[in-house]
Amino acid sequence: MNRPASAVLIVEDEKPIRRFVRAALESEGLKVFEAETGRQGLVEAATRKPDLVVLDLGLPDLDGVDFICGLRAWSAMPVIVLSARAQEPDKIGALDAGADDYLTKPFGVGELLARVRAALRRVATGPEGAAVVRFGRTSVDLGARVVTRGGAPVHLTALEYRLLAVLARNLGKVLTHRQLLREVWGPSYIEQSHYLRIYMAQLRHKLEDDPAQPRYLLTEIGVGYRLSAE
Amino acid sequence: MTDDRADPDELLARIRREEDRAGRGRLKIFFGASAGVGKTYAMLSAAHELRAQGVDVLVGIAETHGRKDTQAPLAGLEVLPPRVVEHRGAQVAEFDIDAALVRRPACILVDELAHSNAPGSRHPKRWQDIEELLDAGIDVFTTVNVQHLESLNDVVNGITGIKVWETVPDRVFDQADEVIVVDLPPDELLQRLRQGKVYMAAQAEQAIRNFFRKGNLIALRELALRRTADRVDDQMLAYRNDEAIGRVWATRESMLACVGPQAGSERLVRSAARLARQLGVEWHAVYVETPALQRLPTAQREAILKVLALAQQLGARTATLTGQSPAAEIIDYARRHNLARVVVGRGRARALWTGRSITDRLGTLAPEIEVIQVGIEDVAPRRARAGDGAGQPGPKYGGYAWAAAICTAATAAALPLAGRLDLANIVMLFLLAVVVTAVRFGRGPAVLSAFLGVAAFDFFFVPPRYALAVSDAQYLIVFGVMLAVALVIGHLTSGLRFQARVAGHREARTQALYEIARELSGVLTREQVIEIGDRHIEASFHARAVILLPDAADKLAAFDANPQAGAPAVDLAVAQWVFDNGKPAGFATDTLPGSRVHYTPLPAPMRTRGVLVLEPEISRLLLIPEQRRLLETFAALIAIALERVHYVEVAQGALVRIESERLRNSILSAMSHDLRTPLTSLLGLAESLAITRPPLSAAQLEMAGAIRDEAVRMNALVNNLLDMARLQAGEVRLNRQWQPLEEAVGAAVAAMRQPLAKHTVRIDLPADLPLAEVDAVLFERVLCNLLENAAKYTPAGSEVVIEASTQGDEFRVAVADNGPGLAPGMEEAIFEKFTRGEVESTTPGVGLGLAISRAIVEAHGGRIWVERGRDGGARFVIALPRGTPPALPAEAGRAA
């Protein structure tokens, strides 16, 4: 999996954090570039063309959302943002702007590496993702629009299927409430987050062994949802 | 179509009327022609019916006069104990309004609407007590006889010859929601009277016997029935108006009543009120003060002011005008206010030399105005001019002395010239003395001067000199001319001086208003407003004044911490009443008029801002309508200044709060960043050690793990401290959204997987649990804290159960364990900051988690507590209000 050619750009103003993130990534055999400011980070991203960006949201010179928008103008490379607790609005802003995942400071090295691996794997499978997504005993055939669990077909309503399909196409990626509501219900529903929560609960009851302790349809509290295959 | 459309103002007035009525109690009057028709009995019977329907009825006071048939129905009704008052050495039982307001029944019975309360009561009249009860939203039943209606007082007097002193304003009767006529034919009434079933005060028995003559009773009965019919008429009119039957308000129809100094003015005012009511028009009452009337004794002037007050009570707008000619002033006022009818009294007063009455003069001056004459000569003899001159200003006597002195000087000047000048020229000197006296000292001294001058002239100059004999009759002409000159000039000067004085007063009032408005416009603090207000009121009203302001609980307190010696004796209870009711009280009002102190509210647009208390030195000043209006304007100006200052303070407070919040937030986020960055590095570096190559030894790995664990603990501590700081800083901004509790519980359990690794977690949520409106992030924090607590204080292998249920309009979420439980008595203490379950414990963690949880739950409007669970474990319960969840999205159950 760990192709030696993969390169990661760290945009972070705190040197000690840069240092250990670099150490962790290099231990995985990844190539690492560093940038201390947002502007420098954009230049580095354009010149070095890394496969992934780890971005701190507390940069002194540039807002995280501006950085991501600047990057997304020309590249779809995955972005993992680092943020402090009690910064939910910043996280949501960054995810809405196109970030793929987030980590809350302080974070463990193991967690960081898991997220980086997952993001790189998504790049490897291509932009469209797999036609069949499997998690646990469930498999979702996005082409045939068929959901089975342990081999038996599962009956989903149209909206439940659309919600599951959006999550499956973005396997492992955090999707905010807004993104999901817009994708599934349409732009005029982005304030109706209880719709989403109710349908999510219904999906869990149909697809999880213990809906109260989900293993695949994960809640990112205050932010959104993620479908995890692990 | 367009004609049917109601005038918007009229509609608004109607809505206001209905709103007023909505909050107000309903008044039901049992109306009779005379005593003994059974009003009280009828009222008590109605009360019994209400009580049978389950209404909370209270008998406030019932005048049963010890009669058995009236007392009997009292049985079974709750009766308010009367207030016993000492009056003229006798014990008088009075209605206890304060007790009634405290008791607050749905309906109260208060007998005898026209009753006058004993001196020292809150209101002089019982009908005012009833108004207050109605304002408080309590329904009232009461009784009244026709002769007690203010406007019919004279008529009844004319018929029966008995003057009734206890009267009720007609508007009380007209505004009653229901009037029930209690009627008894005169023969039956007389029968009852003979049987001794009618109450009579012993001392006036003979007079009352005269009253109960059959003729009288028939007339009174007719009056009562007609008055009720009038009322029904008015109601019909009001209904027609309400129901958008358009009608132009005939302002031109309005009326002006001219109050004169005569004794019958009261009667004039009552007639005018009656007339205005019958015509359905508004009316004004004015009094024209001429120089002649200015010289009236104080008692009589106060009587006139009282008549004006009566007019106001009967619904008139009142004013005092000043001028030389009453007719001209009245016409001027009528034209300015668009009044088409003028009501004057037909008295004996006629101008001295023209012989024309005021009616003639009004007719000549303004032929277009309708003049109505009302007979006002009282049956009673004209009031004796007792106490004449009691209030006369003093310096007059000085004027007479000066008159004598000037005459003496003229004589002294003329004596040496006696031989050399013609007598005609010497007379000129005396004439000069008369003119000087008249100009300087007015008419009286001038007349004296004329007499003295003629006497001196006669004695010293007219032959035979040094004798008072007059040889030639032509000197009588000299005398007459001098007297006429004295009178004419004296009259003119006193008129001029009067005009100047009136203009001076007017100027002073305008000046006072200008001054206070100018000074108040610049103030920035309440102390300044009060200082300026006090100073100006003391100057303009010759009164000692105090301004009382309410505190945060709307209770009045003297603003001045150390009142001066001369401050008025303020009764805080009265002041509070004035503040609460927004009505003036004390001297010169209807409420507690016996007091020497006047209380007036300070009305500002938003609310009443305080109470102005003043004790006038010259009490008459407050009775003059213009002065009252000046006082009201002062009060309004002070109130507006206070309101402005209040809002300045509010705005400043808001600014400070915004500023401090901004500062607090920036400090918190800076701290959060500065503390977390090294922690993140510490944790990351410690974990990096574990993956370095070549790998660390087992001992080194353990040390790296310990560094990591400590960093995690430190982080938890920092998180708690920052959370607590945020919550304590005040407004926690909740991001409440409707969500299934299952999700929050699941997220919390997932987040706490590590600490709970050695425990069994069981989640027990009913499938039909409705959505809860919570801030997901904060609510997860609460659950995490509770789970962390359970993990910390129970041994490994214990079971932690999360349950939820609905109880009434609440959600209950419980986190229970089967551990050792809490030490008794700690149930509340553990929610305090920095308290832990066990006093001596090695368990890490500062006791902030539960304090944070409580703060969050309370911000959601809920409660959190701990109780003993099964097996003696601790059971933390969160109760949250359920609210009304939004409608669920509907979807056709189409399978994919």
> What are A71-99's pLDDT values in tens digits?
988 888 999 999 876 677 888 899 999 89
Query: Residue B384 has what pLDDT?
Result: 36
- pLDDT band, residue B802 (cuts 50/70/90): very high
Give the rounded percent of residues in chain B with a pLDDT score beyond 70: 84
Using a CB-CB distance cutoff of 8 angstroms, which residues of chain B are in contact with residue A16? 677-678, 681, 684-685
Query: Residue B158 has what pLDDT?
Result: 76
The predicted model gives B223-244 an average pLDDT of 68
Residue B794 has pLDDT above 90, yes or no: no
Q: Do B687 and A24 touch (CB under 8 A)?
A: yes
Q: Do B896 and A161 touch (CB under 8 A)?
A: yes
User: What digits encode the pLDDT tens for the residues B135-168?
Assistant: 888 999 999 988 888 878 777 777 777 777 788 8
Query: Residue A162 has what pLDDT?
Result: 92
**Distance between terminal CA atoms of chain B?**
61
Residue B133 has pLDDT above 80, yes or no: yes
Q: Are B437 and B402 in contact (CB under 8 A)?
A: yes
The predicted model gives B661-684 an average pLDDT of 82
- pLDDT band, residue B876 (cuts 50/70/90): very high
Residue B251 has pLDDT above 50, yes or no: no
Give the rounded percent of residues in chain A with a pLDDT score beyond 70: 95
Compare A203 and B359 and report the one with higher pLDDT: A203
Query: Residue B878 has what pLDDT?
Result: 93
Residue B1 has pLDDT above 50, yes or no: no
Compare A59 and B594 and report the one with higher pLDDT: A59
Residue B698 has pLDDT above 50, yes or no: yes
Complex confidence, ipTM: 0.89
Closest CB from A109, A145, A159 relative to B687: A109
Q: In Å, what is the CA distance from B149 to each residue of A110, B49, B127, B712?
A: 96, 28, 12, 88
Residue B464 has pLDDT above 80, yes or no: no
Using a CB-CB distance cutoff of 8 angstroms, which residues of chain B are in contact with residue A156? 895-896
Strands annotated E in chain A:
7-11, 31-35, 52-56, 79-83, 101-104, 132-135, 138-141, 146-149, 152-153, 174-176, 217-220, 224-227
Compare B493 and B98 and report the one with higher pLDDT: B98
Residue B562 has pLDDT above 60, yes or no: no
Residue A189 has pLDDT above 80, yes or no: yes
- pLDDT band, residue B390 (cuts 50/70/90): very low
Residue B879 has pLDDT above 90, yes or no: yes
Compare B658 and B693 and report the one with higher pLDDT: B658
| Least Cα separation, residue A195 to chain B (angstroms) | 6
| A12-26, B670-684, B737-751, B840-854: least confidently modelled range | B840-854
| A41-55, A121-135, A209-223, B691-705: least confidently modelled range | A121-135
Query: Residue B2 has what pLDDT?
Result: 43
Instruction: Tell me the C-alpha distance between B60 and B111, whole Å.
Output: 8
Q: Are B223 and B144 in contact (CB under 8 A)?
A: no
Question: Average pLDDT, whole number, for chain B?
Answer: 79
- Joined together, the tokens standing for residue B215 give 């003729």
Helices (H), B804-869: 849-859
Residue A57 has pLDDT above 50, yes or no: yes
Q: Do A19 and B888 touch (CB under 8 A)?
A: no
Closest CA to B883 of B812, B782, B811: B811
| Least Cα separation, residue A76 to chain B (angstroms) | 28
Q: Based on the number of CB atoms within 10 Å of its own CB, is A127 exposed (0-12), middle (13-18) or buried (19 or more)?
A: exposed
Please provide residue B351's backbone torsions phi and psi, each rounded to the nearest 5 degrees: -60, 145
- pLDDT band, residue B828 (cuts 50/70/90): confident
Residue B3 has pLDDT above 50, yes or no: no
Using a CB-CB distance cutoff of 8 angstroms, which residues of chain B are in contact with residue A86? 672, 722-723, 726
- pLDDT band, residue A2 (cuts 50/70/90): very low
The order of strands in the sheet holding B139-145 is: B78-79, B57-61, B107-110, B139-145, B27-32, B178-182
Q: What is the pTM of this model?
A: 0.49
Residue B756 has pLDDT above 70, yes or no: yes
Closest CA to B521 of B348, B344, B645, B367: B645
The predicted model gives B555-565 an average pLDDT of 60
Query: Residue B115 has what pLDDT?
Result: 87
φ/ψ region of B552 (left if φ > 0, alpha if ψ in -120 to 50, else beta) reads alpha
Instruction: Tell me the C-alpha distance between A211 and A206, whole Å.
Output: 8
Query: Residue B482 has what pLDDT?
Result: 77
Using a CB-CB distance cutoff of 8 angstroms, which residues of chain A are in contact with residue B672? 84-86
Compare B60 and B625 and report the one with higher pLDDT: B60
Q: Do A192 and B681 touch (CB under 8 A)?
A: no
Query: Residue B199 has what pLDDT?
Result: 64
Residue B535 belongs to what H/E stretch? helix B526-541
| Least Cα separation, residue A23 to chain B (angstroms) | 7
Query: Residue B245 has what pLDDT?
Result: 42
Give the rounded percent of residues in chain B with a pLDDT score beyond 90: 4
Q: Are B483 and B438 in contact (CB under 8 A)?
A: no
A52 DSSP β-pair partners: A8
Which chain A residue shows the shortest CA-CA distance from B681? Answer: A17
Q: Do A158 and B896 touch (CB under 8 A)?
A: yes
Kindly state the DSSP code that residue B846 receives in the 8-state scheme: -
Give the torsion through C-alpha atoms of B723, B726, B727, B733, to 10 deg.
-110
Query: Residue B379 has what pLDDT?
Result: 44
Query: Residue B893 has what pLDDT?
Result: 43
Query: Residue B207 has what pLDDT?
Result: 60
Closest CB from A84, A210, A222 relative to B672: A84
Residue B392 has pLDDT above 60, yes or no: no
Q: Do B677 and A16 touch (CB under 8 A)?
A: yes
Instruction: Tell me the C-alpha distance between A100 and A19, whole Å.
Output: 23
* One-letter amino acid for residue B508 of the chain: A
The predicted model gives A6-15 an average pLDDT of 91
* One-letter amino acid for residue B317 of the chain: R
Residue B352 has pLDDT above 50, yes or no: no
φ/ψ region of B226 (left if φ > 0, alpha if ψ in -120 to 50, else beta) reads alpha
Q: Based on the number of CB atoms within 10 Å of its own CB, is A73 exposed (0-12), middle (13-18) or buried (19 or more)?
A: exposed
Query: Hey, what long-range contacts does B717-722 have (CB within 8 A, 24 or more apart)?
Result: B717/B845, B717/B846, B718/B672, B718/B675, B718/B676, B718/B679, B719/A85, B720/B846, B720/B848, B720/B849, B720/B852, B721/B848, B722/A86, B722/B668, B722/B671, B722/B672, B722/B675
Query: Residue B626 has what pLDDT?
Result: 79
Instruction: Tell me the C-alpha distance between B18 and B23, whole Å.
Output: 9
Compare A220 and B202 and report the one with higher pLDDT: A220
User: What digits encode the pLDDT tens for the residues B605-652?
Assistant: 888 888 988 888 877 777 777 788 888 889 999 999 999 999 988 998
Residue B423 has pLDDT above 90, yes or no: no
Query: Residue B253 has what pLDDT?
Result: 66
Compare B895 and A99 and report the one with higher pLDDT: A99
| Least Cα separation, residue B570 to chain A (angstroms) | 57
Q: Are A142 and A133 in contact (CB under 8 A)?
A: yes
What SS3 class is residue B91?
A: strand
Compare B837 and B14 and report the one with higher pLDDT: B14
- pLDDT band, residue A203 (cuts 50/70/90): very high
| B263-267, B606-610, B680-684, B715-719: least confidently modelled range | B263-267
- pLDDT band, residue B348 (cuts 50/70/90): low
Which chain B residue shows the shortest CA-CA distance from A24? Answer: B688
Query: How many residue pairs from chains A and B have C-beta atoms closer than 8 A?
Result: 146
- Which of B288-297, B471-480, B683-692 holds the top average pLDDT? B683-692
| Least Cα separation, residue A30 to chain B (angstroms) | 14
Using a CB-CB distance cutoff of 8 angstroms, which residues of chain B are in contact with residue A204? 742
Give the torsion through C-alpha atoms of B371, B374, B375, B376, to 10 deg.
-110
Which chain A residue shows the shortest CA-CA distance from B741? Answer: A212
Query: Hey, what long-range contacts does B556-562 have (CB within 8 A, 24 or more apart)?
Result: B556/B610, B556/B611, B559/B526, B559/B527, B559/B530, B560/B530
| Least Cα separation, residue B740 to chain A (angstroms) | 7
| Least Cα separation, residue B650 to chain A (angstroms) | 31
Q: Are B611 and B621 in contact (CB under 8 A)?
A: no
* One-letter amino acid for residue A225 of the chain: Y
Compare B192 and B836 and report the one with higher pLDDT: B192
Residue A14 has pLDDT above 60, yes or no: yes
Q: Do A88 and B777 touch (CB under 8 A)?
A: yes
Q: Are B576 and B556 in contact (CB under 8 A)?
A: yes
Using a CB-CB distance cutoff of 8 angstroms, which residues of chain A are in contact with residue B737? 193-194, 197
Which chain A residue shows the shortest CA-CA distance from B685? Answer: A20
The predicted model gives B748-752 an average pLDDT of 88
Q: Do A145 and B896 touch (CB under 8 A)?
A: yes
